[in-house]
């Protein structure tokens, strides 16, 4: 079982993973490229803990202890002692491959190297290292402290031992795990939501129904907690565009081809909740 965990990237996903790991008792090294990014990430974690305390879901001393277990750094060499490293950087193979080449060089033998990718095949990431058997996918969901699922993804050469370590970690931080045995682009969840979301955007784009009515149809007709366009706004229009594009690039299946409307929204900066406007006004 991993005791020392390193998380690469202090954004929404990386910070959330560090947060739940610290609550579960892991010593966490949280790394990002600038002190400002680390301070933002740590500030978000601190605020989240405070909300849990305020709602009676966490004791104040437990929150303080968890925060004390998180060490921040801009030095990637700090991963040297980690048993498990979880990468949570920008969702492109080029960026992730650069990180994994460095992790391969710096991490100790036996360390498990995990990627929080939602769509990029683990085999492609693992191929940039000399230890593909140690590379595994751990796809957490946003917001990490609230969402209960984690996809643990096997690449072509991922060992059973790496899968076991990743699964134990995800379950140890309170998640229910589904194992994806073949790392097709998009795995299970991103593949499903991309198909639904791209079709929802096409229906809106062609004037078949309003965003509100499309989402209502999915909530009430299918029992979904959120409609697909609401989900895109929550996830980030740019994030969904990248995810669908990755699946489309791998499959060449037009089901996953991002509609022009989605690209225009990203170009205009309408990225969903984080920008204040997406398919809905969040101002």
Tell me the average pLDDT across 65-77: 98
Instruction: Kindly report, as residue ranges, where domains of CATH 3.40.50.720 are found in the chain.
Output: 4-180
Which pLDDT does position 235 carry in this prediction? 87
Instruction: Kindly report, as residue ranges, where domains of CATH 1.10.1040.10 are found in the chain.
Output: 190-275
Nearest to residue 48, comparing CAs of 72, 73, 32, 67? 67
Which pLDDT does position 1 carry in this prediction? 58
Q: pLDDT band at 246, cuts 50/70/90? A: confident
User: pTM for the full model?
Assistant: 0.90
Angle, vertex CA 272, rays to CA 270 and CA 277, nearest 5 = 55
User: Is pLDDT above 80 for 250?
Assistant: yes
- Angstrom distance (rounded) from CA 275 to CA 248: 26
φ, ψ dihedrals at 217, nearest 5° = -60, -40
The CA R_g of the chain, rounded to the nearest whole Å, is 19
- 186-199 pLDDT per residue, tens: 999 999 999 999 99
For domain 4-180, the CATH architecture is 3-Layer(aba) Sandwich (3.40)
Residues 6+ apart with CB under 8 A from 68: none
**Which range among 5-14, 67-76, 130-139, 241-250 shows the weakest confidence by mean pLDDT?**
241-250
At the top level of CATH, which class does the domain 190-275 belong to? mainly alpha
- Angstrom distance (rounded) from CA 24 to CA 272: 31
- 84-127 pLDDT per residue, tens: 999 999 988 999 999 999 999 999 999 999 999 988 899 999 99
Which pLDDT does position 83 carry in this prediction? 97
Place of tokens 């990431």: 125
């Amino acid at each position: 079982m991993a005791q020392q965990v390193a998380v690469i990237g202090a954004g929404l996903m990386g910070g959330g993973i560090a947060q739940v790991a610290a609550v579960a008792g892991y010593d966490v090294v949280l790394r990002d490229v600038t002190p400002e990014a680390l301070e933002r990430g740590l500030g978000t974690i601190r605020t989240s803990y405070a909300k849990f305390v305020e709602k009676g879901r966490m004791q104040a001393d437990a929150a303080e202890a968890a925060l004390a277990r998180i060490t921040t750094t801009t030095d990637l060499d700090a991963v040297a002692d980690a048993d498990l490293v979880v990468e949570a950087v920008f969702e492109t193979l080029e960026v992730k491959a650069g990180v994994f080449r460095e992790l391969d060089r710096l991490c100790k033998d036996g360390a498990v190297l995990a990627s929080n990718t939602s769509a990029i095949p683990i085999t492609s990431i693992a191929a940039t290292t000399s230890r593909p058997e140690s590379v595994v996918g751990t796809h957490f969901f946003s917001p990490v402290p609230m969402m209960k699922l984690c996809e643990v993804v096997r690449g072509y050469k991922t060992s059973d031992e790496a899968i076991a370590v990743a699964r134990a970690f995800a379950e140890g931080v309170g998640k229910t795990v589904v194992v994806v045995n073949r790392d097709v682009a998009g795995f299970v969840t991103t593949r499903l939501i991309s198909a639904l979301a791209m079709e929802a955007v096409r229906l809106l784009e062609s004037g078949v129904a309003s965003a509100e009515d499309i989402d209502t149809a999915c909530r009430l007709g299918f029992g979904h907690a959120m409609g697909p366009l609401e989900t895109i706004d929550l996830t980030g229009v740019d994030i969904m565009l990248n995810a669908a594009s990755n699946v489309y690039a791998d499959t060449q299946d037009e089901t996953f081809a991002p509609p022009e409307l989605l690209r225009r929204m990203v170009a205009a900066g309408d990225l969903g909740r984080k920008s204040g406007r997406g398919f809905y006004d969040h101002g």
